[in-house]
Structure 1
């Protein structure tokens, strides 16, 4: 590294906020932030880097919150999207009065091999076990982070684990999966929640049904082909009718409510139970004190694995960029891949974007494989590049 010029020593250091989400499938948010910070410090060691990893409700939600909130993490036996035993966690805060859960620990797409992904048969039953454990532990408020799910069952498995079982026309319990909901005829039993208040921390605002619903938008990511998507959307429509009729307090028009399509329709099931949807990034931002920090920095650096049109709908990048824009602070996005146009990005407050794939030479030259294999290396290099371009 060349010596620092004498005149540069008189310049005040920048205050830079590093607040990325995870890079799904490669690095959790804390490691993303650490890699970028390492690269920045190689070039501008005098700058003040404020590291605040973020999450929007999907995988990594509990990890980020556990670093920011005083509380204790409690292991909970549960099941994965295919009903196999696994272990999840609850984060208990405020003396146990509030329980934080991450649906992806029981329903996550990352828990399945590619060949196992089938939203026709995957279930949210394991999430119901996590909620039941939180309620039995005495939590009065249960916050459920939604995102990254392998399911499209409208929360039917979750409700069954809580004591409200979907039945078909013969009175038999519905089997696991979204396809079975097409035969839903009634709901048997009531959820055992001990009057606990439910909050869905959503990473999307999609409704349960329709063109922008759970099946159409997210079903293909979970293994659904076009025929499956049509079947699943119709099945969820039938399930919504049953919930509205048989679940006391379920709001009318359930299939169109914002956030109902989160995590394959688990959002709708939580709404049907009297819960409410809140922005996942909003909840995490308050927990880590993001609003206060944003008032004190010169530059914001955020990011995620793929920056695309879905990033503009309630995810970490959009929330951070909007808050930075409101303060007149530039916001830079680092991503594995960038497919959002400059004008679209600017509309939510993004100043500039940087892609790991492009850093490694572009997709046509093996950049995608390199980005997946060596993300920390690429993020350190991009951190150094940012420092050269932005630091005083």
Structure 2
């Protein structure tokens, strides 16, 4: 059999590349004659650069930028074929904030990372959005590229208090002539009931009682820049970082679809007998632009069965099939939570070997 292995990261334990290799290792133990085709996936969030590097090759550049609270953090960008690929979570990710102080967290480091890509002489920059700990409407990014205002754009949502004027001239000049692409699977507008703050603010440490005030600050940012763009799908991605990129002329593209295109997922699925995907927690939110659902859709179009391996499986068989997945298997059910966290690669390999007994000919 030919098996296409196309997992996302297992958040906190394995990158997508490591997960794919672990699944392949376990599968070969049980079915050494099977041919395994590894296609690690991402949706624009953490792991995006790693996956693109695996697919495209190219040169990785490491720079130091300001983290969400101003402390220096390392971040990498991939330059391949005249395009730079950035992972914004490396500069402002929730893993750097601990899910706290969302009102103070800034996207300044993302702007610095984008500036480093521009300095590399590329003519196209793709920014993967996802996993951010920020909620500043991308104000920090704009400031890092030269935007000015009558408030502190680099101090998170807190710094936007009293904002009444923003000048984007220098920031727009800085990116002139370069194609910008915001890769995200979040459809949220910038503000409102389904906007960045109301939807994602609580997980970033913004207290419930503060949500209206913080949303109002992003509304003020939209009012002095472009209210129409604030309503666009994806404007609320990464705490409004999508909005800042739209202000600079970026085009928004679904991150998962972009990765699928680069790795030729549809073509490889048609050549396979079975598609295996996975992620840390497989639940019904997987339908919201997450990798397993996207991979399962591609498998269905290719008329190939798809199974999922996950750290945890939190859906029943009916919901699973609604997501296009034939069966889903959990690492914790096989080895327990303690070992799943302590030895994630080996535990996932053991699960893959178990699944191969059922699915390999």
What residue in structure 2 maps to residue 119 of structure 1? Answer: 102
Would the aligned equivalents of 1:182 and 1:239 in 2 still touch at CA under 8 Å? Answer: no
What residue in structure 1 maps to residue 306 of structure 2? Answer: 331
Take 1:280 and 1:167, find their aligned partners in 2: how far apart are those partners?
A: 34
Would the aligned equivalents of 1:80 and 1:106 in 2 still touch at CA under 8 Å? Answer: yes
How do 1:251-290 residues align onto structure 2 when only pairs under 5 Å count?
Answer: 252-290=227-265
Take 1:220 and 1:359, find their aligned partners in 2: how far apart are those partners?
A: 33
Take 1:325 and 1:267, find their aligned partners in 2: how far apart are those partners?
A: 31
1:85 paired with 2:72, answer yes
Give SS of 2:234's match. coil
1:45 paired with 2:48, answer no
Structure 2 unaligned regions, length at least 5:
none
What residue in structure 1 maps to residue 342 of structure 2? Answer: 373
Larger radius of gyration: 1
Structure 1 unaligned regions, length at least 5:
1-13, 245-251, 361-366
Would the aligned equivalents of 1:179 and 1:231 in 2 still touch at CA under 8 Å? Answer: no
Quick one: structure 1 residues 275 and 49, their matched pair in 2 at CA, closer, same or farther if it must change by over 3 Å? same
Would the aligned equivalents of 1:122 and 1:150 in 2 still touch at CA under 8 Å? Answer: yes
Pairing partner for 2:179 from 186, 193, 197: 197
Query: What is the CA-CA distance between 1:118 and the residue it aligns to?
Result: 1.3
Would the aligned equivalents of 1:120 and 1:179 in 2 still touch at CA under 8 Å? Answer: yes
Deviations 1:325-356 (A, max 9, x none): 11221111122222344333323322221122
Superposition RMSD on alpha carbons, in Å? Answer: 1.8
Counting matched residue pairs gives: 358
What residue in structure 1 maps to residue 167 of structure 2? Answer: 188
1:61 paired with 2:61, answer no
1:176 paired with 2:155, answer yes
Take 1:308 and 1:140, find their aligned partners in 2: how far apart are those partners?
A: 39
What residue in structure 2 maps to residue 131 of structure 1? Answer: 114
Query: What is the CA-CA distance between 1:68 and the residue it aligns to?
Result: 1.4
What residue in structure 1 maps to residue 94 of structure 2? Answer: 109
Take 1:372 and 1:177, find their aligned partners in 2: how far apart are those partners?
A: 33
1:33 paired with 2:16, answer no
What residue in structure 2 maps to residue 98 of structure 1? Answer: 83
Would the aligned equivalents of 1:182 and 1:234 in 2 still touch at CA under 8 Å? Answer: no
What residue in structure 1 maps to residue 215 of structure 2? Answer: 233
Take 1:339 and 1:238, find their aligned partners in 2: how far apart are those partners?
A: 39
What residue in structure 1 maps to residue 276 of structure 2? Answer: 301
Give SS of 1:253's match. helix
Take 1:369 and 1:165, find their aligned partners in 2: how far apart are those partners?
A: 50
Give SS of 1:320's match. helix
More deviation, 178-187/337-346: 337-346
Quick one: structure 1 residues 307 and 232, their matched pair in 2 at CA, closer, same or farther if it must change by over 3 Å? farther
Deviations 1:242-287 (A, max 9, x none): 221xxxxxxx533332111211111111112211111111111222
Query: What is the CA-CA distance between 1:149 and the residue it aligns to?
Result: 0.8
Take 1:134 and 1:281, find their aligned partners in 2: how far apart are those partners?
A: 22
Would the aligned equivalents of 1:151 and 1:264 in 2 still touch at CA under 8 Å? Answer: yes
Take 1:181 and 1:343, find their aligned partners in 2: how far apart are those partners?
A: 46
Deviations 1:171-215 (A, max 9, x none): xx3451123334221103421213211100113222222333222
Alignment TM-score, normalising by the size of structure 1: 0.86
Give SS of 1:317's match. helix
Take 1:85 and 1:137, find their aligned partners in 2: how far apart are those partners?
A: 21
Deviations 1:89-108 (A, max 9, x none): 221121xx211111011111
Alignment TM-score, normalising by the size of structure 2: 0.93
Take 1:230 and 1:82, find their aligned partners in 2: how far apart are those partners?
A: 23
